[in-house]
């Protein structure tokens, strides 16, 4: 038996609660991990509250991320004592996840914990930070350099936005942060943002094409915000889209793409190939300032995750939340 959050759905309804879980509940896998730290992402908030059909099998342990130590392995790539990290692969949705003291997964889903990160720091990064790095890599590979102009980061106070700002600032880019929480201006500037705009400037329906401003964009919001970001991106600029906090719709036209040659990159963190994951984690270990990471990190226990998951969906959570799986 081990402690964790278990989501059930039956005649009595949808329920998420911390309880003792029988190891027999865990799905098949060739590596068992003693989880030390997990985290809360937007998708975890949806799973815990049931506000979106993220969970597709019941009972389910939520948590799309975890970091810990291998306790058992029949996979030749891993042995007991190895420190590992997992992000995505449907864990917490179709396969029991990381908001528990134990997880059993396929060995090919795991990556080694970078030597200069603790398990806690890896989860302070989590899928949000790893996704932010994938966005930055997309802009870099497109050829966007700091001298090309401003980079817009939407949803700037969220996990992806916060880490994206910290990464881009260290790399020398000038960042404009878009947020609905203008009380956080000083915090965002401390992370590295040069300017702050109210999200209302982007969230209403806009023109098919607008004045050129952004050399590149990291968008976590979707809907009108993404459409307006594309419409105001410079000639041959790029937009990395990785979130849908504002909606799944994309009320845009083809004008930015065929008149300005703007490129829209879809950033998928869930099923990204191993080589892409390893590159992202290697870059995070080099380019993310640990002090800035700590400044946006809040620590909670498993019981707290039930409440904080709902707060995250309401836009009340700043930065990253790490979950001590043994508390």
DSSP sequence for 6-33: EEEEETTEEEEEEEEE-GGGS---SEEE
- Quote the DSSP letter at residue 222: B
The residue from 266, 285, 309 where one domain ends is: 266
Does residue 290 belong to any structural domain of this protein? no
Residues 304 and 261 reside in one and the same domain: no
Question: Does a structural domain hold residue 276?
Answer: no
What are 84-105's pLDDT values in tens digits? 999 999 999 999 999 999 999 9
**280 is a domain residue:** no
Q: Among 227, 245, 266, where does a domain finish?
A: 266
pTM, two decimals, is 0.92
User: Do 140 and 177 share a structural domain?
Assistant: yes
Q: Mind listing the pLDDT tens digit for each residue in 276-320?
A: 999 999 999 999 999 999 999 999 999 999 999 999 999 889 889
CA 200 remoteness from chain centre: 23
CATH number at residue 239: 3.40.50.720
30 in the same domain as 64: yes
Determine the structural domain holding residue 209 and report its residue range: 126-266
- List, as own/partner pairs, every contact residues 243-250 make where C-beta atoms lie below 8 angstroms and the sequence separation is at least 24, other chains included: 243/42, 243/155, 243/158, 243/160, 243/219, 245/42, 245/155, 245/158, 245/220, 245/221, 246/203, 246/221, 246/222, 247/222, 247/223, 248/222, 248/223, 249/222, 249/223, 250/222, 250/223, 250/226
Rg (CA), the chain: 20
HEC profile for 84-130?
Answer: EEEECCCECCCECCCCECEEEECHHHEEECCCCCCHHHHHHHHHHHH
- Does residue 239 belong to any structural domain of this protein? yes
Q: Say whether both 133 and 105 belong to one domain.
A: no
β 233-241/13-21 pair status: unpaired
Q: With respect to residue 215, please indicate whether it lies within any of the assigned structural domains.
A: yes
Residues 137, 237 contacting (CB under 8 angstroms):
no
| CATH for 100 | 3.90.180.10
Decide if 27 contacts 92 (C-beta within 8 A).
no
pLDDT attached to residue 272: 95
CA distance 164 to 134: 9
E strand spans, 223-284: 233-241, 263-266
Q: Are 199 and 179 in contact (CB under 8 A)?
A: yes
Residue listed under structure tokens 């949808």: 14
Q: Is residue 136 part of a domain?
A: yes
Same domain, 108 and 130: no
Number of domains in the chain: 2
Tell me what percent of the residues of the chain surpass a pLDDT of 90. Answer: 94
- Say whether pLDDT at 182 is over 90: no
Tell me, what's the pLDDT at 181? 86
In a domain, 284, yes or no: no
In whole angstroms, give the CA distance from residue 40 to residue 241.
Answer: 20
298 φ, ψ to 5°?
A: -125, 140
Q: Tell me which residue has tokens 């992806």.
A: 160
Give the up-direction half-sphere exposure of residue 229: CA atoms within 13 A in the CB hemisphere: 34
In this structure, what token pair is assigned to residue 322?
């790490």
Last residue of a domain, one of 244, 266, 288: 266
Check residue 50 and give its pLDDT: 95
């Amino acid at each position: 038996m081990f402690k964790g959050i278990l989501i059930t759905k039956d005649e009595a309804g949808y329920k998420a609660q911390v309880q003792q879980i029988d190891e027999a509940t865990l799905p098949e896998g060739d590596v068992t991990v003693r989880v030390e730290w997990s985290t809360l992402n937007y998708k975890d908030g949806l799973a815990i509250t049931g506000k979106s059909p993220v969970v597709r099998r019941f009972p389910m342990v939520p948590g799309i991320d975890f970091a810990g130590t291998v306790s058992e392995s029949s996979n030749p790539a891993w042995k007991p004592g190895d420190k590992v990290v997992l992000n995505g692969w449907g864990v917490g949705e179709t396969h029991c996840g990381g908001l528990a003291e134990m997880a059993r997964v396929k060995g090919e889903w795991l990556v080694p914990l970078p030597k200069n990160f603790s398990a806690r720091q890896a989860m302070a990064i989590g899928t949000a930070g790893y996704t932010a790095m994938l966005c930055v890599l997309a802009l870099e590979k497109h050829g966007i350099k700091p001298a090309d102009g401003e980079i817009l980061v939407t949803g700037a106070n969220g996990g992806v936005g916060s880490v994206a700002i910290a990464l881009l600032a260290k790399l020398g880019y000038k960042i404009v942060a878009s947020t609905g929480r203008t009380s956080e201006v000083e915090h965002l500037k401390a992370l590295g943002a040069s300017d702050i705009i109210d999200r209302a400037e982007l969230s209403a329906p806009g023109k098919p094409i607008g004045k050129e401003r952004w050399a590149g964009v990291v968008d976590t919001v979707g809907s009108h915000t993404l459409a307006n970001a594309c419409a105001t991106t410079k000639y041959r600029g790029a937009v990395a889209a990785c979130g849908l906090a504002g909606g799944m719709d994309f009320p845009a036209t083809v004008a930015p793409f065929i008149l300005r040659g703007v490129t829209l990159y879809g950033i998928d963190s869930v099923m990204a190939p191993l080589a892409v994951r390893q590159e992202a984690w290697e870059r995070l270990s080099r380019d993310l300032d640990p002090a800035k990471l700590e400044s946006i990190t809040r620590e909670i226990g498993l019981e707290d995750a039930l409440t904080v998951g709902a707060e995250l969906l309401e836009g009340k959570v700043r930065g990253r939340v790490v979950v001590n799986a043994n508390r």
